[in-house]
Structure 1
Amino acid sequence: MFARLGRVVVHNPWKVIGAWLLIVIAVVASAPKLTSTTDQSEFLPSHYESIQAMQLQQQAFPQSAAPAAIIVFKRADNAPLNDENAAQVAAIATKLGDEKIKDVTGIQPAPPAENRLVQIAAVQMTKVTTAGDTTQSDAVESLRDALQAQLKDTDLKAGLTGQAAQMLDQTESSAKGMAIIGIATIVLILVLLLIIFRSPVIALLPIIVIGGVSSTVGGLIAMVSKAFDLKVDSSVNAILLVVLFGVGTDYILFLMFRYRERLRAGEDPKTAMVSAVTRVGEAITSAAGAVIIAFMALTLSTLGMFRALGPALAIAVAVALLAGLTLVPAIVSLLGTKVFWPSKAWQVEPKGARFAAVGAALGRRPGAFAVVSGGLLLALGVFAFGFNPTFDLSSGSTSDTSESAVYSKELLKGMPAGATQPSDVLLRSEGGALTAAQLTDYRAALAGVSGVGQVSEPHPSSDGVVAEFQVTLSSAPESDAALDTVRGPLRDTAHAAAPAGATAVVGGITSVFVDFQDAMNHDYSVVFPVAAILIMIVLALLLRSMVAPWYLMASVFLGFAATLGAAVLVFQHFQGNSGLIFTLPVIMYLFVVALGTDYNILMVARLREEACEGRDPRQAAALGVHHTGPTIAAAGVILAGTFASMMLAGNNVLSQMGFAISVGIAIAAFVMAMFFTPAVTALLGHRAWWPGHGDRGAKQSNASSPSDDYYAPRRDDAQQVPAASGGSNRGWSNTGEWRR
């Protein structure tokens, strides 16, 4: 199949390029706009309590909502506010309201805090109704400008915080981060490919190809999201950019390494490209298939953000694969050997002394390599048990110097930490209006809960059947302490203290985070095993073996644990953070498990190829590391480097993601695929390929026990191969054998 594909593409390059241009134009012209959402509640199913509370609140209080933003006032000299200052705050709030700022529906000042260090004004805004709606963000920008004008000639300083302000600052921070990530990714790919191939043409090839098809990816994702009503998280754009360029470059790299190998074997350029697609096509497709399966397994998630993220990334990988097997060969077949210009190194068989020496050492002592590499994975994996999820997305996604972050800290000087986003308790009677005595007793019960700072006066609905209590927690709404309060005593008390014939639900962002944790625990028990089973099926079909998939997946999950352990070690132990971003294990699963399988597939496919040539298991392992080691090393450096660029974005969320994924890919490439997998395969020997025994090839005469001299580095005369000669490839190969 891949031989036929290679011939069609290579002999019809302009038709292939034209078809791609038509596809890109058609998708871009017809695709809707891809929008994302930052509202975490949109990702949860309706059976969770936080969503039930939100729905009840919308039904009973359609005009009521928690403040979209909070203006925090303080004295410029940090002294306590006096009565004159309090009057100034009230006057400023009134003037801001009179300015009729678009989409600001009300500004209500509150009394100064008990210690009089701060005073707040709650800001109501037009409710956001659709993903990507900038109504509140625009209102925050306008309100900030108007506020600074009103503060002139006063002793006061003030700024906006709260959900709408935090979202605006987060969006601006993400935009800057995306620009940094994009530039760093492209520069890194250019530099590394220039070092590897010493050709600006090859260095620019992935940038041009992937940049050209990226609009197609965005359009397809938008189509799928609209068709299936998927909620795309705002962080998907950063991940998508890195996945598309990182994975796409890897696939192009695999193809170009094999293309160069066939040219050195004496094939003419077109034949060499057909051979490259034929030989590497199955491995690349199987690797991409494993990645796509891992991503699509997220559709089983109960969380909407992951159900949308999985197909989005699967589409990106599928398009990168198709481009790598069709568009790239078409372009290269037109360029021929000019793709390596101005370097002539492609004509020379490199000695590859380092990888030859490593391969020879592994071939002699596979047990030692298996123990050391496996022991390293286990040692790092121990720290994974200390993982603590954190939901502090707002502060972690913005700079500490942003206005919302600065005034959120100022707010804590006089108000409970939960004041920015209070929890909501809604009490509903099934037998008529609630009485004043019932509401008073219920409020007192809520106020007595440990971890609760304040409870507002009850706000009854027009018919008196539903009453709303705003509960301000003592801890920040995204903190572990706040989650523990809502999950335990607050929900328990809210349910138990409800009057006879009444029920209660607890809502608000902290309640949403509590339900997120429960949903993710469910997903861990469903998504991970399903993905593992499906990937093992792909491996079994590729390798025609029932044994190899088991130890390959075991190595991948060891790599997953080691990666999580490394992140815990760096961020929780060394930096002293309370925890890691709660989505990190799933994000790591996407890349470490899926892409770790990628490199394992590439290595084990080469091991089988060498075994089919008649090498014994240790010979095959030595040659596999020698030949495939450079490809995996180059791909691993590029992919890990592109993800590491996320650490330059300037916020803790992307820093944790970038670190964990880049370390995970480095572990997958340089520990699992390079050492652990070939070492275990060599130890298992013929049994690794049971029952298909795909290691049996035509050249069994070479399978006799080798002498110890085999494992010593071989002499390589680095024969010059004439460009496009199609001539003989006779001479000493880098395996030390005479080519006929």
Structure 2
Amino acid sequence: MFGRIGRFSVNRPWLVVAMWVIAAIGLAILAPPLKSSTDQADFLPSHYESVRVSKLQEHAFPQQEKAAAILVYQRQDGGKLSEADKAAVVKATKGFQDEKYKTFKSVVTTPEAVSKDGEMALANIYSTKKDVYNEDTQKSVKDLRADRDGLLKGTALKVSVAGPAASALDSTESSGDTDAMIMMATLVLIIVLLGAIFRSPLIALMPVLMILVMFTMAQGLIATASDLFGLEADSSVSAILIVVLFGVGTDYMLFLLFRYREHLRQGQEPKGALIDATSRVGETIASAAGAVIVAFLALTLSTMGSMRAMGPSLAISVAVTLVAALTLVPAVFSLLGTKAFWPSKAWKQAPRNRLANGTGALISRRPGLIATVSACVLAALAVGAFGFKAEFDTDSSLPKDLESVQAMADLQKSFSAGESDPTLVYVQSDGGAKLDPAALSGFRKKLEGVEGVGEVSPAVPNPRGDVAQFSVVLKYRPASEKAISLVSGELRDTAHASAPQGSEVLVGGTTAVLSDIEDAVNHDYRLVFPVAGVAIMLILGLLLRSVVAPLYLMLAVGLGFAATLGSTVWLFQDIKGENGLLFMLPIVVYLFVVAIGTDYNILMVARLREEVGKGKSPAEAARLAVAQSAPTIGSAAIILAGTFGVLMLASNTMLQQMGFAVAFGILLTAFIMALLLVPTVTAMLGSKAWWPNHRFDSPHASGASGPGRAEEPDAADDTVRV
């Protein structure tokens, strides 16, 4: 099959290139815009309590609104507000109201909105839009910020804007700059590394141009799929999509180009060499891509909408990359011929690779020692994973210099920690009867007795009297670990147990949403990890026709996952002092390191199987496989790790954590696992590694070679023949 695909692409290059360009342009023009959401509550399924609270609130208190943004007034010198300052706050707030911003229904303040220390006053902004994260509301925040200097002129005040709409605006603007920076840094990195590997400007530039076509295709397909199936992408998907396409796309091109160059060195004509290269590495690339795709699709089992949206998006991008690697890449290099390698002459003769040969020889002589040392290094790094703490406040990942982040930090200094965003408790009668005020008063006292609760407002009944609302101010910051533990534990337990007779109690609000997200993520850990692991093992089993090899490969990658997470914990929590790591980081690391890192294990084990199939002893096969595969695995891993490592340049700590974790995990997978641990374990297991395939049980003496130097391995002969 892959031979037929190669012949079609190589013999009809202009047709293939035209089809790709037309499809990319068509999707760019016709595809709907990609929707995005930054509201964490949007990503929870409807059965969670915090989501049920939102629906109850809409039904019982339709007139009640949550502020889209908050104006935080302070004196410029940091002192207490005078009576004149308080009057200026009222006047400025009325001025903002009179400006009639597009989506702002009202801007209001009250005398009670002054902090107890007298240093701060607040005003709430209410939107005409139910979705406070929409673009029009963000534009209104931007316009208000532009007008504030004029409205505060002649006063001693300054005002900052915090709240959901302001955070969304700052996040969007920060993300836009980040995406552009990541795209540029990734392009420069790939061009420089490809140029250094092949010493050819055309090979350095052509993959980048092809990946840009793939990126356009993938974005159009993702937007179309999102529109058809109602998915909302998380705001960080675009940055991740860039590095996935460029990293994985470059990997697959390297697999093909190295084998193409090998056939050229053997004297084949360019078109024939390209067809043979596509035929030989097609199954390997397809298997590697298949492992990545099924791992990403496992995210559709997640209870988190953000992960369910990310999974198909990334799976689509890898599928586009796979098709391009087998069609577009051969077509383009068919048109270029050997001119693609100009001005380098290295494609004519294979250089010696002393480092790869030396590593292979060492592995052949001391497999037990190398396996032990490799496993110990990974195990030592994995110890850090026990200190992992999940951070569920995604706003905490935003740069600290953003206005909305600074304003919220200032607000929480003058007001009690939970006052800016209280937890909401609702009591609803079962049959629609009116609630008993005395029972509600007793329920309130029960809530006030919970350790960690600051204040509980009196019951506020709805017009029908069958639902009552309590605002519960916690002593902790709403998104903190203590607040989440309190709401998910004692507060909810007490509220449910103390429900007045004939009523149901529901606990909601931001802290409750984060508590439910924590529960959803723990569910995903228990479901997504095993499903993705089993799916990848099945692909490995089909490729290798073995039961044993996939088992120890997945055990090795699992150890690599733990080592990656442990290293990230040590860097960001212990060294940089972060409160915790992004709550979904373990899932992202697991999928990227296990799935993408499996590419290198596939290359290595398939090469080992090939050498054993030629009659080599297990030790000799390991030596030759490492000597032959090290240059490709090393080059591909450095480029892939570099593209993910670019995320560390972002100001968003979530992307920094993700960039380091995946980049470091890829390097561990390539250089310790694929090049050291996997070949040594395979050599020690011998024919047992391929059970129940008995084809490799008895190596033929005539095909074996001594333990000396490798049989002139081609530094480019690094892809596997399967």
TM-score, scaled to structure 2? 0.95
User: Partner residue of 1:87?
Assistant: 87
Residues 625 and 678, structure 1, Cα contact 8 Å, conserved in 2: yes
CA distance in 1, matches of 2:468, 2:64: 12
1:452 has 2:453 as partner: yes
User: Partner residue of 1:310?
Assistant: 311
C-alpha displacement at 1:154, in angstroms?
0.9
Instruction: Tell me the alpha carbon deviations over residues 15-49 of structure 1, each in whole angstroms, 9 at most, x when there is no partner.
Output: 21122233324433442221111111111111100
C-alpha displacement at 1:713, in angstroms?
6.5
Q: Structure 1 vs Structure 2: percent identity of aligned residues? A: 50
User: Partner residue of 2:32?
Assistant: 32
Residues 126 and 135, structure 1, Cα contact 8 Å, conserved in 2: no
User: Partner residue of 2:12?
Assistant: 12
User: Partner residue of 1:327?
Assistant: 328
C-alpha displacement at 1:701, in angstroms?
4.2
C-alpha displacement at 1:118, in angstroms?
1.4
1:267-286 residue pairs with structure 2 within 5 A? 267-286=268-287
Residues 54 and 507, structure 1, Cα contact 8 Å, conserved in 2: yes
Q: Structure 1 539/316 Cα, relative in aligned 2: closer, same or farther at 3 Å?
A: same
SS at match of 2:478: coil
SS at match of 1:121: strand
CA distance in 1, matches of 2:27, 2:548: 43
CA distance in 1, matches of 2:137, 2:438: 38
Greater shift after overlay, 168-177 or 183-192?
A: 168-177
User: Partner residue of 2:408?
Assistant: 408
CA distance in 1, matches of 2:27, 2:84: 62
C-alpha displacement at 1:306, in angstroms?
1.3
- Matched to 1:243, the amino acid is V
- Matched to 1:60, the amino acid is A
Q: Structure 1 227/714 Cα, relative in aligned 2: closer, same or farther at 3 Å?
A: closer
CA distance in 1, matches of 2:154, 2:710: 80
User: Partner residue of 1:729?
Assistant: none
User: Partner residue of 1:67?
Assistant: 67
User: Partner residue of 2:478?
Assistant: 477
User: Partner residue of 1:610?
Assistant: 611
CA distance in 2, matches of 1:506, 1:248: 47
- Matched to 1:118, the amino acid is M
C-alpha displacement at 1:435, in angstroms?
4.3
1:138-149 residue pairs with structure 2 within 5 A? 138-149=139-150
1:197 has 2:198 as partner: yes
Residues 118 and 413, structure 1, Cα contact 8 Å, conserved in 2: no
Residues 31 and 220, structure 2, Cα contact 8 Å, conserved in 1: yes
Residues 161 and 420, structure 1, Cα contact 8 Å, conserved in 2: no
Residues 233 and 305, structure 1, Cα contact 8 Å, conserved in 2: yes
User: Partner residue of 2:117?
Assistant: 115
User: Partner residue of 1:589?
Assistant: 590
User: Partner residue of 2:671?
Assistant: 670
- Matched to 1:186, the amino acid is L
CA distance in 2, matches of 1:288, 1:694: 27
CA distance in 1, matches of 2:484, 2:654: 19
- Matched to 1:250, the amino acid is D
C-alpha displacement at 1:467, in angstroms?
2.0
Residues 714 and 734, structure 1, Cα contact 8 Å, conserved in 2: no
CA distance in 2, matches of 1:693, 1:643: 41
Residues 259 and 717, structure 2, Cα contact 8 Å, conserved in 1: no
User: Partner residue of 1:3?
Assistant: 3
CA distance in 2, matches of 1:382, 1:294: 25
Q: Structure 1 288/206 Cα, relative in aligned 2: closer, same or farther at 3 Å?
A: same
Q: Structure 1 287/713 Cα, relative in aligned 2: closer, same or farther at 3 Å?
A: closer
Instruction: Tell me the alpha carbon deviations over residues 653-707 of structure 1, each in whole angstroms, 9 at most, x when there is no partner.
Output: 111111111111111111111111111111111111111245479x934444x54
1:436-447 residue pairs with structure 2 within 5 A? 436-447=437-448
1:98 has 2:95 as partner: no
Residues 202 and 340, structure 2, Cα contact 8 Å, conserved in 1: yes
User: Partner residue of 1:433?
Assistant: 434
Q: Structure 1 385/119 Cα, relative in aligned 2: closer, same or farther at 3 Å?
A: same
Greater shift after overlay, 446-455 or 282-291?
A: 446-455
Instruction: Tell me the alpha carbon deviations over residues 493-548 of structure 1, each in whole angstroms, 9 at most, x when there is no partner.
Output: 32233322221211112111111111111111111111111111111111111110
Unaligned runs of 5+ in 2: none
1:228 has 2:229 as partner: yes
C-alpha displacement at 1:614, in angstroms?
2.0
CA distance in 1, matches of 2:499, 2:156: 47
SS at match of 2:234: coil
Residues 214 and 245, structure 2, Cα contact 8 Å, conserved in 1: no
C-alpha displacement at 1:129, in angstroms?
4.1
User: Partner residue of 1:722?
Assistant: none
Residues 424 and 469, structure 1, Cα contact 8 Å, conserved in 2: yes
C-alpha displacement at 1:489, in angstroms?
2.2
CA distance in 1, matches of 2:518, 2:461: 31
C-alpha displacement at 1:448, in angstroms?
3.5
CA distance in 2, matches of 1:43, 1:76: 40
Q: Structure 1 278/643 Cα, relative in aligned 2: closer, same or farther at 3 Å?
A: same
User: Partner residue of 1:730?
Assistant: none
- Matched to 2:385, the amino acid is A
Q: Structure 1 107/468 Cα, relative in aligned 2: closer, same or farther at 3 Å?
A: farther
Residues 357 and 713, structure 1, Cα contact 8 Å, conserved in 2: no
User: Partner residue of 2:55?
Assistant: 55
Q: Structure 1 160/121 Cα, relative in aligned 2: closer, same or farther at 3 Å?
A: same
- Matched to 1:199, the amino acid is S
User: Partner residue of 1:371?
Assistant: 372
CA distance in 1, matches of 2:139, 2:453: 33
C-alpha displacement at 1:714, in angstroms?
7.0
C-alpha displacement at 1:321, in angstroms?
0.7
C-alpha displacement at 1:53, in angstroms?
0.4
Runs of 4+ in 1 over 6 A off after TM superposition: 713-716
SS at match of 1:420: coil
CA distance in 1, matches of 2:129, 2:511: 20
Residues 163 and 420, structure 1, Cα contact 8 Å, conserved in 2: no
- Matched to 1:61, the amino acid is F
Residues 349 and 734, structure 1, Cα contact 8 Å, conserved in 2: no
CA distance in 1, matches of 2:251, 2:710: 28
SS at match of 1:418: coil
Instruction: Tell me the alpha carbon deviations over residues 712-734 of structure 1, each in whole angstroms, 9 at most, x when there is no partner.
Output: 46779x99xxxxxxxxxxxxx99
CA distance in 2, matches of 1:694, 1:173: 57
Residues 614 and 696, structure 1, Cα contact 8 Å, conserved in 2: no
- Matched to 1:114, the amino acid is K
Residues 614 and 702, structure 1, Cα contact 8 Å, conserved in 2: yes
CA distance in 2, matches of 1:534, 1:622: 30
User: Partner residue of 1:726?
Assistant: none
Residues 624 and 710, structure 2, Cα contact 8 Å, conserved in 1: no
User: Partner residue of 2:78?
Assistant: 78
1:152 has 2:165 as partner: no
1:483-522 residue pairs with structure 2 within 5 A? 483-522=484-523
Unaligned runs of 5+ in 1: 720-732, 736-740
SS at match of 1:417: coil
Instruction: Tell me the alpha carbon deviations over residues 56-83 of structure 1, each in whole angstroms, 9 at most, x when there is no partner.
Output: 0111122322211111111111112222
Q: Structure 1 145/239 Cα, relative in aligned 2: closer, same or farther at 3 Å?
A: same
1:44 has 2:44 as partner: yes
C-alpha displacement at 1:437, in angstroms?
3.6
